[in-house]
Structure formats: structure tokens, C-alpha cells
Amino acid sequence: MKRQNTFLLWLLPLFFGLYSCANVSEPQEGEKEQVEAEPKRPKMSSFKFREIDIQGHRGCRGLMPENSIPAFMKALELGVRTLELDVVVTQDSQVVVSHEPWVSHLLANKLDGRPIGPNEERRFNIYKMPYSELIKYDCGSLPHPYFPTQQKMKVIKPRLLDVVKSVNLFEMKAELEKPIHYNIEIKRLPEYDGRYCPPVEEFVDLVLAAIDSAGISGHANIQAFDWETLRLVHQKRPKMPISMLVEETDDPQKDLDELGFTPEIYSCHFSMVNDTLVDWVKGHKMQLIPWTVNETADIEAMLAYPLDGIISDYPNRVMDVLMQ
């Protein structure tokens, strides 16, 4: 009997505790409307950033050395799911991630440590250099005059295949539902053919072969400022999404007519974006993804339009604005 009483005494506080919790969780008369009026905040894990495709320009050039594997990894860690990058070709036909088809004086010194002069950088021609020679250049340790907060570190210009391998590891570790997308710019100008890049058809074939070899043909698009390049890609791969890069124009329809087909994406400098352009792009059923939007005020101005994506050296700033 004594053990029974002890057991009952132990149960009583538990019972009253549960009863109190139940009463507290139920709003009292007059409080119910106030509770229901409070907005439900979205869970961070399901926040969709207005369905805007935030693209990391050259990875995240404002934060890390451009077009480097650390820059791409940092962008992915921030939440970027489309990597914007540029490709060129080496002497031994390797498709390499680089904005210029030469070693820029802004990114690297000569192998003996002396600076590369602005007027001599084209002598360090990647198209005339085997990849084994190119990787000797440290392209991330120099302070960048335009990106003073960029983290400095020793990096090389990676092959497209090496970038994809690193991204694949990230995807596996992060258990992503969808694969990372690649927005790949072919850095070709007609006057570069045979000097700084292969003839245009060979260039396109090498890039498409690299994309196939890396296994990303289903989640990549090609972009270029050069219409001949885009026409060749469209001819060889009709299902490959195309992004038409535009820096400035007085007549977008004339440019589109000259291209000869309607691409999936119209990607212009952000200063071109206005209501008229938005209506024209949407009227042609293209996506509108301006570049390169870096300052917070410009990001806010761009996000006032119904964009499909936004390309930035600072994808973290875009995310900060969207989270406000």
C-alpha cells in the first residue's frame, strides 16, 4: 500500500504538468484572433528565393579568385545552383576555364615572379600553350584591383572536367535533389580564330565533347556574344539551351533576326533592362537573365522586374536582398 501511495504521489505532478501545458497551448478567449493573425514564416529549408536563378559569375569573383575551383565551391556553399563560367582551349586541345584566352596581368605574374605588363599579356597565349605549362601560373595570389575583398590563394586555371568532378563531389555530400547547372560561355571572336582559339567549328566541337565527357549535357547551356558560335551550337545540338549575350544594342529585334533563331535565354548587361525590354523578351518567350549585377542598389532595382535569373560576382548580396 505504501508503494502504491508513493507511485500515486509521483504521478500527480506529471498529471498537473501535462494539464497545464495543454491549457497554455490553447489560446484563451480574445487571444485566438491575435494568434491566428500572426503571419506564418517560411522555413529556411523551403525558401525559394522567388524562383530566381542566382548565378555565380565566374564562380563568385567578388569573394574568391575567378573561374577557380575554390570560387565554384564557395558559390555552391552559399546556395548558388547555376555556375557561370568561361572556356578557352589549350595547344593540346584541353577545354580550360578562363575568361581570357591568355594569362591576364590582373591574375598572375610571370613564372620568374616578375609582373606581366598589360601590353604583353597576350604573349602568354593559352592556345599556344600546353596545359602542363598553363598550370604553372598562380592565378589567385595577386591582389585584384577591382575586388579588394577577394580572398587570395594559390589557384590554377582548371579544366572544365576538373570543375565538374569537384562539383559532383559536392552534390554527393550535400545530397542535392537536382544537379548543378552550368552556364558556359565560349570565348570566341572571329579575329581570334587560329590565333587565340581554334577555328570556330573545331572550338564548338571541343566544348560540346568536353560537356559530353563530363556528363553534364542535360544540365548545361551555352552562351556567347558571337552569333556564329551560337548558330553552330544550335545546328549541332538543337536541344541545347542557348543564351544570347548582349552588351548593348539599339535594336534587339535586329540582333535576334541576325542570329536566325530564338534562343532560350536573353542575357544582357543589366543597364539595358527596362519595362520595354522585359515585354519584348517575354513576348518572344525567352528567359531574361541580366549580368553582372553587383551593387546592392542595382540588385534591388533588377529584382523589381520579373527576371528569370540574375548573374553576380556577389551571389551572397543577391541572397541578402531576397531575404529582406
Q: What is the mean pLDDT of residues 80-92?
A: 98
Please report which confidence band the pLDDT of residue 181 belongs to, taking 50, 70 and 90 as the band edges.
very high
DSSP 14-37: HHHHHHHHHHHHSPPTTTHHHHHH
Q: What is the mean pLDDT of residues 128-147?
A: 98
pLDDT of residue 297: 97
Among residues of the chain, what percentage have pLDDT more than 90?
84
Q: What's the Cα-to-Cα distance from 14 to each of 2, 5, 24, 64, rounded to whole Å? A: 19, 15, 15, 56
pLDDT of residue 48: 40
Domain 49-101+158-322, architecture per CATH: Alpha-Beta Barrel (3.20)
C-alpha cell recorded at residue 160: 572544365
What is the C-alpha to C-alpha distance for residues 6 and 9, in angstroms, rounded to an integer? 5
Please report which confidence band the pLDDT of residue 10 belongs to, taking 50, 70 and 90 as the band edges.
very low
- Residue 194, C-beta contacts closer than 8 angstroms, at least 6 positions apart: none
pLDDT of residue 114: 98
pLDDT of residue 53: 97
pLDDT of residue 315: 98
Q: Which residue has the higher pLDDT, 38 or 147?
A: 147
Phi, psi (degrees; rounded to nearest 5) at 206: -65, -40
pLDDT over threshold 90, residue 251: yes
Q: β-strands 309-312, 287-288: how paired?
A: unpaired
Nearest CA among 234, 222, 224, 294 for reference residue 262? 234
What is the C-alpha to C-alpha distance for residues 125 and 102, in angstroms, rounded to an integer? 4
Please report which confidence band the pLDDT of residue 231 belongs to, taking 50, 70 and 90 as the band edges.
very high
What is the C-alpha to C-alpha distance for residues 66 and 137, in angstroms, rounded to an integer? 14
> How far from each other are the two terminal CA atoms of the chain, in whole angstroms?
64
pLDDT of residue 51: 80
Phi, psi (degrees; rounded to nearest 5) at 282: -65, -35
Nearest CA among 160, 170, 175 for reference residue 73? 170
Q: Which residue has the higher pLDDT, 258 or 9?
A: 258
Among residues of the chain, what percentage have pLDDT more than 70?
85
pLDDT of residue 16: 35
pLDDT of residue 38: 35
Nearest CA among 76, 60, 54 for reference residue 314? 60
Please report which confidence band the pLDDT of residue 50 belongs to, taking 50, 70 and 90 as the band edges.
low
Indicate the domain borders of the chain: 49-101+158-322
pLDDT over threshold 70, residue 155: yes
pLDDT of residue 284: 98
pLDDT over threshold 70, residue 63: yes
pTM for the structure as a whole: 0.85
